[in-house]
DNA sequence: GTTGTGACTACCA
DNA sequence: ATGGTAGCCACAA
């Protein structure tokens, strides 16, 4: 039997999974769309826990400034950028992305 | 029970 | 624009 709190993760997964290919959203945006406006940080925590073979497009989630959440040059940063470029999303000259709106 | 942490944000100097 | 601070809250020790 699952507790209520576990549903938060499930909803976050659901929200991230609903992000269309080629679009990117912020952690805060995901949290709000899930119905948890103050759980932006938790979104990141959940993504961190995802297994490497997950089908969830965690790489489409970035911070509110339009940047990848990791310091540039780290393995994680590079991997996320690689995954994005693989889907046609490319960073601009400032190393940023354009946050896109989408209708759930 | 408390404390520290974090893939965040909004606000302010 | 940039940097610091405060608020936020689930989770692990």
Strands A25-26 and A61-62: parallel
User: Taking the C1' atom of C9, which residue's CA lies nearest?
Assistant: A39
| pLDDT tens per residue across span A12-70 | 999 999 999 999 999 999 999 999 999 999 999 999 999 989 999 999 999 999 999 99
- Judge if the beta carbon of A8 is closer than 7 A to nucleic acid strand C: yes
State which nucleotides on strand C lie below 7 Å from a protein beta carbon. 7-11
pLDDT mean over A84-100:
95
pLDDT exceeds cutoff 70 at A1 = no
Nucleotide at minimal C1' distance from the A3 CA:
C10
pTM score of the predicted model = 0.92
DSSP string, chain A: ---HHHHHHHHHHHHHHTSPTT--EEHHHHHHHHT-TT-HHHHHHHHHHS-TT--S-GGGEE-TTSS-SSPTTSHHHHHHHHHHHHTT----TTS---------
């Amino acid at each position: 039997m699952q507790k209520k709190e576990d549903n938060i993760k499930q909803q976050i997964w659901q929200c991230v999974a609903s992000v269309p290919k080629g679009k990117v959203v912020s952690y805060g945006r995901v949290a709000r769309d899930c119905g948890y406006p103050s759980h932006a940080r938790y979104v990141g925590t959940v993504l961190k826990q995802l297994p490497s073979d997950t089908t969830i497009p965690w790489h489409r989630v970035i911070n509110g400034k339009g940047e990848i959440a990791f310091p540039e040059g780290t393995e994680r940063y590079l991997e996320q950028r690689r995954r994005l470029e693989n889907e046609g999303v490319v960073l601009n000259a400032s190393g940023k992305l354009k946050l896109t709106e989408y209708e759930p």
